[in-house]
Structure 1
Amino acid sequence: MSSSAHDLLSFSVFSLFPLPLLQVKSNAVRALGNLLHFLSVSQLTRPGFQRPLEEAVSALVTTVQSEATMKVRWNACYALGNAFRNPALPLDSASWSGDAFSALCCVVTSCQNFKVRIKSAAALSVPACRHCYGDAERFGHVWRSLAAALEHSEETQDFLEYRYCSSLRHTLTHTLTHLLRLSQSQDMPALGMSLVMEEGRGFKEHLVKYLRGEGGMDGGRRGGGGGTEGRERKGEERVRTLGETLERLRSLCVDGEEDGEEERSALVVVAFLEDVLRSCEELK
């Protein structure tokens, strides 16, 4: 990005977003996400960038939670996900990070538009490292929000939204599986408690379907991936990845403090994953 990035970022924040939110154009929201995505470490460490950065994220967060058109909110979720792809952004420590995650968690559980929910769930799956999700409390909040959204994924007052139910469940399951893959010992209590509740039983059902490549983005007209053969390859890869997650979590049980809460919770998570993989094997 050129040396004028600071001016461009400031212009995007202070010129576009003071307008009434309903007038904010989708392409402006996406452009702001692109700017956040391409900022470099050298630019982010400049004192003059801190305020525009905070204002930019705040503008996206406000738009996600606003009464703007669903198209604009969808693009705001997309923009946050795009920003999350920038490894230079300090997601684990920035003051604005908690607001960004909270906004996406709120939308994924409460927005009436399922396409916006899908995009918010997809954004929550973007961070590639555990530390990007912050401490165990925030990680647990993200997990519980996604699990609750999956449990209530068929509840809507708009019949037209039902056509997106399958894609919503697929994306939520994918993101929950991503969190499982990144989870550490401090996250086990929140995950273990969730998996023994009703939402855990629902997650198991959808996870088995996800691993087998059934429904969602793996089936139907939008399935892609070479038909049945492509879905089978995806399923095999997902099962292999979940198996690797299981082995890693088993090590937490061995290395953990005897009779500690984290170890007991890890045993619950391990038993859950073993049951899921056993169900997949039985359905072959």
Structure 2
Amino acid sequence: MYTPYIMCYYYGINYINISGNVTRYLSMTQVQSSNLSPLVSRSIDTLLTCATAGNNMKTRWNACHALGNILSSGKMPIEKMAWKSRFLTVKFLKGQNFKIIFNVRIQACSAVCGLPRREDYGGEYFTLWRMLLTGLDNAQNIPDYQEIRHRDELINQISLGISQLTMLLKLSDCGPLRELLELHKDMAAPLMKKAQQELTPEKAQHALKAQSHIQDLLLTDALTEAQEQALNILKDLTECT
């Protein structure tokens, strides 16, 4: 039997696109049916393997793109899926492996930040925050001059991802995030402000919604000191001016 990686190797981009498109257009009922559920899981597992293995960056890019389309549809009950943790902790988002080109990291960031519900992330929500903030720090490191043209796009996408995560923030998340935000705020603030000025009006809506959400949370009675500090840092990070 062929493994997912061998399938990707032999059938390439067409296999990835077909797998992604078929899975994307399944209804919620079909996704959860006993007949199709194992096939859906295998399709996702194949795309995850294609996104994280091998040196073909075009294959990785397409796999990340397909995953993003599937999961942003809102039809996938990701919180119940065995592959959730593997998907949400894609290591190369941190940018510590410089063999992974910026284009792939851009698409990976878009995929993992496109989930519509806070519960979809579960405990990996905090891991993803750490990965994005670390990735923002490491985006300044350019091992190949050819990647310079993609650097700003990567920074913009990570900033957009942070805004998307902020839109889903619960008050109970603020305390655990405070120390992490304190650690990265000095590096993140100027990069995010620059990125938000370059976003298209459609994408800028994420930053505006994130800022509005933070303002609402700040009005909550009896905030703890840690919660208030975290919210004020996020308020500064998501300001569009």
**TM-score, reference length from structure 1:** 0.75
Q: Which whole-Å CA distance do the structure 1 matches of 2:29 and 2:235 have between them?
A: 45
Q: Which residue matches 1:129?
A: 117
Q: Which residue matches 1:168?
A: 154
Q: For structure 1, which segment, 116-125 or 199-208, has the greater mean C-alpha deviation from structure 2 after superposition?
A: 199-208
- Following TM superposition, by how much is the alpha carbon of 1:156 offset from its aligned partner in structure 2, in angstroms? 3.1
**In the superposition, relative to structure 1, how do residues 51 and 20 fare at CA in structure 2: closer, same or farther (>3 Å)?**
closer
Q: Which residue matches 1:201?
A: 186
- 1:179 partnered with 2:147: no
- 1:32 partnered with 2:19: yes
Q: Which whole-Å CA distance do the structure 2 matches of 1:276 and 1:74 have between them?
A: 28
Q: Secondary structure at the match of 1:47?
A: coil
Structure 1's unaligned 5+ residue stretches are 1-13, 219-224, 257-262
Q: Which whole-Å CA distance do the structure 2 matches of 1:250 and 1:142 have between them?
A: 23
Q: Which whole-Å CA distance do the structure 1 matches of 2:239 and 2:47 have between them?
A: 42
Larger CA Rg, structure 1 vs 2: 1
- Following TM superposition, by how much is the alpha carbon of 1:177 offset from its aligned partner in structure 2, in angstroms? 0.9
Q: 1:10-61: CA deviations, max 9, x gaps?
A: xxxx779463643341122122111221111221232122221221111111
- Matched residue type, 1:272: I
Does the Cα contact within 8 Å between 1:188 and 1:266 map onto a contact in 2? Answer: yes
- Following TM superposition, by how much is the alpha carbon of 1:185 offset from its aligned partner in structure 2, in angstroms? 2.2
Identity rate, percent: 20
- Partner of residue 244 from structure 1, selected from 205, 208, 212: 212
**In the superposition, relative to structure 1, how do residues 245 and 32 fare at CA in structure 2: closer, same or farther (>3 Å)?**
same
**In the superposition, relative to structure 1, how do residues 269 and 43 fare at CA in structure 2: closer, same or farther (>3 Å)?**
same
Structure 2's unaligned 5+ residue stretches are none
**In the superposition, relative to structure 1, how do residues 278 and 162 fare at CA in structure 2: closer, same or farther (>3 Å)?**
closer
RMSD of aligned Cα (Å): 2.5
**TM-score, reference length from structure 2:** 0.87
Q: Which whole-Å CA distance do the structure 2 matches of 1:146 and 1:124 have between them?
A: 10
- Following TM superposition, by how much is the alpha carbon of 1:164 offset from its aligned partner in structure 2, in angstroms? 0.6
Q: Secondary structure at the match of 2:120?
A: helix
Does the Cα contact within 8 Å between 1:108 and 1:149 map onto a contact in 2? Answer: yes
- Following TM superposition, by how much is the alpha carbon of 1:277 offset from its aligned partner in structure 2, in angstroms? 6.8
Q: Which whole-Å CA distance do the structure 1 matches of 2:100 and 2:5 have between them?
A: 26
- Matched residue type, 1:46: S
Q: Which structure ranks higher in relative contact order (CA pairs < 8 Å, sequence separation ≥ 6)? A: 2
**In the superposition, relative to structure 1, how do residues 124 and 51 fare at CA in structure 2: closer, same or farther (>3 Å)?**
same
Q: Which residue matches 1:265?
A: 226
1:140-179 equivalent positions in 2, closer than 5 A: 140-179=126-165
- Following TM superposition, by how much is the alpha carbon of 1:125 offset from its aligned partner in structure 2, in angstroms? 2.1
Q: Which whole-Å CA distance do the structure 2 matches of 1:28 and 1:42 have between them?
A: 24
- 1:83 partnered with 2:51: no
Q: Which whole-Å CA distance do the structure 1 matches of 2:8 and 2:207 have between them?
A: 43
Q: Which whole-Å CA distance do the structure 1 matches of 2:237 and 2:53 have between them?
A: 38
Q: Which whole-Å CA distance do the structure 2 matches of 1:279 and 1:42 have between them?
A: 40
**In the superposition, relative to structure 1, how do residues 190 and 153 fare at CA in structure 2: closer, same or farther (>3 Å)?**
farther
Q: Secondary structure at the match of 1:157?
A: coil
Q: Secondary structure at the match of 2:40?
A: helix
- Matched residue type, 2:34: P
- Matched residue type, 1:107: F
Q: Which whole-Å CA distance do the structure 2 matches of 1:200 and 1:84 have between them?
A: 29
